[in-house]
Each structure stands twice: as structure tokens, then as C-alpha cells.
């Protein structure tokens, strides 16, 4: 799949196994420094094994995993996956994305979100969900700005850095013209 250029500096494209090291740098940054990732201990390459197994799936089962590249360096990634892996839930997807600080607030998150919307529409999804830590105000604001609404909250279900946090679920309905 051809990537779409944000500018000459950035490229959003499908992830490959060669991108795993860069994706680990991005994700482990958020594990160690923020509430954006719920995990507390840095992860290794096996965490992204979904990219390796994707090549074995047919097109109907394939769910995109994109990277944002800046002149050969991975500075972010985004995914779309099914809410539940059962056919009767195929119209609802879950999205997530991580972009390194220094590259945020440049429209890359919006561009990644647009790309994930497009993929969700191709799969005839009616809505997208995102779950965000209550301690991650930037992400909560980003989703609300992009038309998501809060649809649920699990209070004090996780701890990180010695503090409890809520998980906020947000939902956005896609174009009503879908069947």
C-alpha cells in the first residue's frame, strides 16, 4: 500500500517487520514517561508480533498497522483493530496511535486518524472506539476535538507511577450512509 505524504518530511505507510525497532522506541518512551501507555515495563519485539502474523491473513481479516516515518526514522504508529474478534462485532473498531513528543501538534495525529477512518469505512465499520487514561489530557482533548464523545469510564482501574487512573472510553460514529 502506498503511503501518503504529510509533507516532504513525513510519510505514513503500512508497518513492516523492519519497523519494529523504531516502533519499540516510540512505545517504550510512552511506557516510561507517561500515562498514554498503560504498561509499566518496557516491551520487546514480541509485543509487535501482530505485524508478522498479518502477512498470513487474507484481506478481509487484515487490520492496518501504520507507521509515521520522518526521513527514515519511525516517530509514530497507529492501528485499527476489531473491538471483539467475533463476526457480530465487525462494525466496531478500536484505534490507537502514539507519536513522539516533538512531532505532535503538527497535524500528524489528525492525518493518522483520517487514514484509520478510511480503513474503517472500507471495512464497513459504523463506529470507532478509543480508550484513554484519565491522566492523558492531551489525548482526551484530541479525541473530543475530532468528534469523539465519552461513552464510558472505568474508575481507578489501573495504577502507574504509584497513582490510580481511570480508563475513559470514547466513541465516534462514522458516516451514516454505511450499511
Top-confidence residue, 135 or 5: 135
Q: What pTM did the predictor assign?
A: 0.87
Mean pLDDT score of the chain, rounded to an integer? 89
Helices marked H in the chain — which ranges? Answer: 20-33, 49-54, 108-122, 137-145
Q: Is the pLDDT of residue 3 over 80?
A: no
Total number of residues shown for the chain: 179
Distance of CA 16 to the CA centre of its chain: 16
Q: What confidence score (pLDDT) does residue 61 get?
A: 66
Condensed to tens digits (0 to 9), the pLDDT of residues 100-132 reads 999 999 999 999 999 999 999 999 999 999 999
Q: Is the pLDDT of residue 1 over 50?
A: no
Q: Is the pLDDT of residue 176 over 60?
A: no
Is 91:29 a contact under the CB 8 Å cutoff?
no
**Which structural domains are found in the chain, ordered by start?**
4-127 (3.40.630.30)
Condensed to tens digits (0 to 9), the pLDDT of residues 38-54 reads 999 999 998 887 665 54
Is 120:174 a contact under the CB 8 Å cutoff?
yes
What gap in Å lies between CA 103 and CA 10, rounded to an integer? 10
Top-confidence residue, 104 or 61: 104
Amino acid at each position: 500500500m502506498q503511503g501518503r505524504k504529510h509533507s516532504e518530511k513525513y510519510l505514513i505507510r503500512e508497518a513492516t517487520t523492519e519497523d519494529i525497532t523504531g516502533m519499540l522506541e516510540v512505545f517504550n518512551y510512552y511506557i516510561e514517561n507517561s500515562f498514554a501507555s498503560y504498561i509499566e515495563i518496557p516491551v520487546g519485539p514480541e509485543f509487535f508480533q501482530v505485524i508478522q502474523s498479518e502477512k498470513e491473513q487474507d484481506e478481509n481479516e487484515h487490520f492496518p498497522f501504520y507507521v509515521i516515518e520522518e526521513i527514515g526514522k519511525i516517530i509514530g504508529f497507529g492501528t485499527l483493530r476489531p473491538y471483539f474478534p467475533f463476526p457480530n462485532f465487525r462494525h466496531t473498531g478500536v484505534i490507537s496511535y502514539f507519536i513522539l513528543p516533538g512531532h505532535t501538534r503538527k497535524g500528524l495525529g489528525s492525518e493518522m486518524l483520517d487514514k484509520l477512518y478510511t480503513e474503517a469505512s472500507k471495512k464497513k465499520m459504523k463506529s470507532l472506539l478509543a480508550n484513554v487514561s484519565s491522566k492523558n489530557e492531551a489525548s482526551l482533548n484530541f479525541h473530543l476535538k475530532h468528534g469523539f464523545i465519552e461513552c464510558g469510564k472505568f474508575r481507578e482501574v489501573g495504577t502507574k507511577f504509584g497513582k490510580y487512573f481511570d480508563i475513559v472510553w470514547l466513541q465516534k460514529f462514522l458516516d451514516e450512509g454505511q450499511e
